[in-house]
Amino acid sequence: MRFITKHIHGDRAIWAIAALLSVFSFLPVYSASSNLVYVLGIGSVTGHLIKHVAIVLIGMSIMYAVHRIPFKYFSGLSVITLPIVWLLLIYTALQGNLIEGANASRWIKIPILGLSFQTSTLASVVLMVYVARYLSVNKEKNINFWRSLLVLWLPVMLVIATILPANLSTAVLIGVLVFVLVFIGGYPKKYLLLMLVTAALFLSLFIMTAKAYPDAFPNRVDTWISRIDSFTGKGDANTNYQVERAKIAIATGGVVGKGAGKSVMKNLLPQSTSDFIYAIITEEYGSVGGLSLLFLYLLLLFRIFMCVYKANDFFGQLLIIGVGLPIIIQSLVNMGVAVSVLPVTGQPLPLISSGGTSIWMTFLALGIVQSVTAGRMAEKDEKNPLAILSETV
């Protein structure tokens, strides 16, 4: 225990929650991967579990390595990496292949590792750090709208516009989170309202263009419309089958569930290891398991707010909000889709769903949060010589 406390810093509750969610994920991923093996004929159940465990271990290593970096370094790193990320997004959008039947304009293949990397998840983290940097640098300044349009909003629009054609839900989620962070960061309200109207007009123009020229964006707008129709009850049976099967899984789980590995709907529900894994968890572990998982995410939200409250640096506070809040929002969106509160979005459940990029970027974000918290604790120890003395006793 002393070894752990010596080398792992930051908020211990966040470390515990991340570890608990990650270890628990082994059970539903192992169970739900039978869908990939026996229905789709991809790999073996044991192979999928080993791959998931390896991804989680790499993610924990990322979190540990990042939390050892002084958080103020992320300010300059965001400026350097944002153009690189944008170029990766363009490359990803132009490749035009399919990965396991899915639109590959979201992923880059990594042949050496046998994995697919979703560049939009990396872009989300880097962009939020960049926005936090801008707000902290200009905290005491009178912000000029035209300069902010070039320095702040142009990078934001470039990233979102590149993601939008292939992944509407992620693009909208990033946009909403940017506006939330900018609002909290003290950006002038009159300029913020103007940008909200501009974003709404841009999105409307894009949808009308995609409808007018469907070959330019094959099936994307139709997919969004069908998901909204499905959510409102206007879709046909083929459109509603994902949500209906998720409802059946949750309903048959009851209070305590069928037991680990005993899900029936995992073989009938597409994306049972990722987008709809919460439905499988509720089927196997019941309402008790589903609500316990929700409690852990809400506890993580509470600890993130506590880290914001205790942070002494404005950039650090915005950094925690910018990279920490998306984890909670994404988890709530995923669970909301499973229980039919929200339309299907394709968002995985953080630290639970299978998939390398999502897990790694979540651990990266938590590492940044812990970097800020660890930096605050280090400053506190420097001001208190007795704290240093107590470690040697």
- The values of phi and psi at residue 264, to 5°, are -95, -40
Rounded distance between C-alpha atoms, residue 168 and residue 171, angstroms: 5
Per-residue pLDDT of the chain (393 residues; tens, 9 = 90+): 565 666 788 899 999 999 999 999 999 998 888 777 766 667 778 888 898 999 999 999 999 999 999 999 999 999 999 999 999 888 887 775 444 444 445 677 666 555 677 888 999 999 999 999 999 999 888 888 999 999 999 999 999 988 888 788 888 899 999 999 999 999 999 999 999 999 989 888 887 777 776 666 655 566 666 666 666 666 555 556 778 888 888 999 888 889 888 888 888 887 788 888 999 999 999 999 999 999 999 999 999 999 999 988 999 999 999 999 999 999 999 999 888 888 888 789 999 998 778 899 999 999 999 999 987 655 554 444 433 332 322
Long-range (24+ apart) CB contacts under 8 A made by 142-149 are: 143/187, 143/188, 143/191, 145/188, 145/191, 145/194, 148/187, 148/191
| CA dist., res. 275 & res. 326, Å (int) | 16
pLDDT at 44: 79
Find, among 273, 292, 366, 277, the residue nearest to 71 by Cα. 366
Q: What is the model's pLDDT at position 385? A: 41
The beta strands (E) that lie in 148-202 are given as: none
For 376, phi then psi, to 5°, come to: -65, -40
Q: Kind and range of the H or E element at 132?
A: helix 119-137
Please check whether residue 281 is in contact with residue 348, taking contact to mean a CB–CB distance below 8 angstroms.
Answer: no
99 φψ region: left (φ > 0), alpha (ψ -120 to 50), beta (else): beta
Per-residue pLDDT at 220: 59
- What is the C-alpha to C-alpha distance for residues 316 and 321, in angstroms, rounded to an integer? 9
Closest CA to 300 of 63, 19, 1: 19
4-12 — which CB contacts under 8 Å span 24+ positions? 8/64, 8/67, 9/67, 9/68, 9/370, 9/373, 9/374, 9/377, 9/378, 10/67, 10/369, 10/370, 10/371, 10/373, 10/374, 10/377, 11/303, 11/306, 11/307, 11/369, 11/370, 11/373
Burial category of 309 from C-beta neighbours within 10 Å (exposed 0-12, middle 13-18, buried 19 and up): exposed
Structure-block tokens of residue 377 = 């604790």
Q: How far apart are CA 263 and CA 250, in angstroms?
A: 10
pLDDT of residue 97: 47
